[in-house]
């Protein structure tokens, strides 16, 4: 069933190179065949313009949002945030019954789909590709934490919120719907959001969300990239465990080969060990002992630095 849009009440805000009339006309034509995903924040549609440009449209029902004034102000701020590893918010349309957020469309969909739903494509995710996805995702999250003003806590980092372009460049999505940290001294948000399996222990205990709870979720994402397992894999549920505890057990028993996704090729066990160490730091039960996302990005960059001997024979053969 297509959207029902009363053009008398529809308003578009954004920087798309189309008239409001063109955009609203395309929005009106969207129906269930155009649905490409859904989640806690709403349903996502694929919208194709007359010039064949493609955009993603997220529909948020009225009962899921706050006041128009607050919501609009947050979107105006978020529309200004640009980073290669963040999904670009291009505009939004206000309707009496819903808000429609328009984003750049990412051709390969989500990391969750690539790892868990599309087995053939998952085999193309070799170890270097997974490292690049990990690093790009870290850069995007670090930008939200350290370079945005006001700072942004994502609150729902997970593989389905990491979207990939045709070059496997990752972009963090749904950060625009996280609560903004406007007060520089207010480090904690109070609304409990997130996804089971990725939630930090303190979020389950007191509902608080901080940059460090995002770091925990990112650590779980790292483990998902290494293992190819969902955080709520049935094998963990059966043992009344989770992916972090499982990883720590295998590391203690020196069984790293049992951790790595069997479909992953060109695995370098030395870098696997280094990535698992980063994941362990990120998932430390004590938030104060977790690294910042800037530090996580630095550690991943160090892992990915090529050995100098690859470029200069005068260097030692060992890194």
Measure the CA–CA gap between 160 and 303, rounded to whole angstroms: 25
Give percent above pLDDT 90 in the chain: 49
**Residue 213 above 90 pLDDT?**
yes
More confident residue, 41 or 179: 41
Residues 151 and 171 in one domain: yes
Are residues 147 and 232 located together in one domain of the fold? yes
Domain span at 256: 111-304
- Is 141 domain-assigned? yes
Any domain includes 222: yes
Structural element, H or E, at residue 10: none
Instruction: Tell me, yes or no, whether 144 and 127 share the same domain.
Output: yes
Q: Band of the pLDDT at 301, cuts 50, 70, 90? A: very high
Residues 90 and 181 in one domain: no
Is it the case that residue 121 has pLDDT exceeding 70? no
Q: Does some domain include residue 317?
A: no
- 156 catalytic? Reply is yes
**Known binder of ligand: residue 59?**
yes
Do 146 and 204 belong together in one domain? Answer: yes
Select which of 156, 174, 214, 233 is catalytic: 156
CA–CA distance, 264 with 161 (Å, rounded to integer) = 21
Residue 145's pLDDT band (boundaries 50, 70, 90)?
very high
Q: What is the CATH number of the domain that holds 194?
A: 1.10.510.10
Please state, in angstroms and rounded to a whole number, the distance separating the CA atoms of residues 11 and 26. Answer: 14
CA 184 to chain centre: 24
Mean predicted lDDT score pLDDT of the chain: 83
What's the whole-number mean pLDDT along residues 220-247? 89
Q: What is the DSSP letter of 191?
A: S
pLDDT at res. 231: 93
Contact 293, 145 (CB under 8 A): yes
Clarify whether residues 22 and 62 are in a common domain.
yes
Q: What is the mean pLDDT of residues 27-53?
A: 89
Number of domains in the chain: 2
Last residue of a domain, one of 75, 104, 133: 104
Q: 252-291 burial, b if ≥16 CB within 10 A, otherwise e?
A: eeeebeebbbeebeebeeeebebbbebbbbbbbeebeebb
In a domain, 318, yes or no: no
Residue 140 and residue 121 in one domain: yes
Cα(38)–Cα(45) distance, integer angstroms? 9
Residue 190: pLDDT band (50, 70, 90) is very low
Please say which residue of 104, 129, 152 terminates a domain: 104
Give the position of tokens 């859904």.
38
pLDDT band for 21, please (50, 70, 90 cuts): confident
Q: Which two tokens stand for residue 135?
A: 């690093």
Q: Do 51 and 163 lie in a common domain?
A: no
The enclosing domain of 32 has a CATH number of 3.30.200.20
Confidence band, pLDDT 50/70/90 cuts, at residue 62:
low
CA distance 166 to 17: 23
What's the rounded mean pLDDT across residues 6-31?
A: 80
Cα–Cα distance measured from residue 231 to residue 184, given in angstroms and rounded to the nearest whole number = 32
pLDDT at 288: 96
Residue 311 lies in a domain: no
Q: Kindly state the DSSP code that residue 181 receives in the 8-state scheme.
A: E
Q: Are residues 84 and 231 in the same domain?
A: no
The Cα 279–Cα 269 span in angstroms is 15
DSSP string for residues in 121-166: HHTT--HHHHHHHHHHHHHHHHHHHHTSSSEE--S---GGGEEE-T
Within a domain: residue 294? yes
In this model, does residue 3 exceed pLDDT 70? no
- 116 and 55, same structural domain? no
User: Same domain for 142 and 273?
Assistant: yes
Evaluate whether residue 248 is within a structural domain.
yes
Task: Choose one of 104, 119, 151: the last residue of a domain.
Answer: 104
Instruction: Yes or no: say if 265 and 126 are a contact pair by the CB < 8 Å rule.
Output: yes
The answer to whether residue 55 is domain-embedded is yes
Q: Are residues 116 and 88 in the same domain?
A: no
Higher pLDDT, 162 or 184: 162
């Amino acid at each position: 069933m297509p959207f029902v849009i009363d053009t008398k009440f529809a308003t578009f805000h954004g920087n798309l190179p189309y008239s409001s009339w063109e955009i609203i006309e395309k929005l009106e034509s969207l129906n269930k065949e155009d649905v490409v995903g859904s989640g806690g924040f709403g349903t996502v549609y694929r919208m194709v313009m007359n010039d064949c440009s493609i955009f993603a449209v997220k529909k948020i029902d009225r009962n899921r949002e706050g006041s128009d004034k607050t919501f609009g102000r947050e979107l105006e701020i978020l529309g200004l945030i640009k980073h290669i590893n963040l999904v670009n918010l291009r505009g939004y349309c206000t309707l009496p019954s819903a808000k429609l957020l328009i984003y750049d469309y990412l051709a390969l969909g989500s990391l969750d789909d690539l790892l868990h739903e599309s087995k053939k494509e998952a085999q193309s995710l070799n170890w270097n590709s997974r490292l690049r996805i990990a690093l790009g995702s870290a850069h995007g999250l670090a930008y939200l934490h350290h370079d945005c003003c006001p700072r942004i806590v994502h609150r729902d980092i997970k593989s389905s919120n990491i979207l990939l372009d045709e070059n496997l460049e990752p972009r963090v999505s749904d950060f625009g719907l996280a609560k903004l940290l406007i007060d520089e001294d207010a480090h904690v948000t109070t609304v409990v959001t997130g996804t089971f399996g990725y939630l930090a222990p303190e979020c389950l205990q007191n509902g608080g969300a901080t940059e460090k709870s995002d770091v925990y979720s990112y650590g779980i994402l790292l483990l998902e990239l290494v293992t190819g397992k969902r955080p709520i894999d049935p094998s963990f549920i059966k043992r009344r465990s989770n992916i972090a505890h499982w990883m720590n057990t295998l590391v203690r028993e020196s069984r790293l080969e049992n951790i790595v996704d069997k479909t992953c090729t060109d695995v370098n066990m030395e870098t696997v060990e280094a990535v698992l160490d980063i994941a362990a730091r990120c998932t430390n039960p004590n938030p104060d002992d977790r690294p910042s996302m800037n530090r996580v990005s630095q550690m991943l960059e160090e892992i990915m630095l090529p050995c100098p001997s690859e470029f200069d024979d005068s260097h030692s053969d060992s890194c």
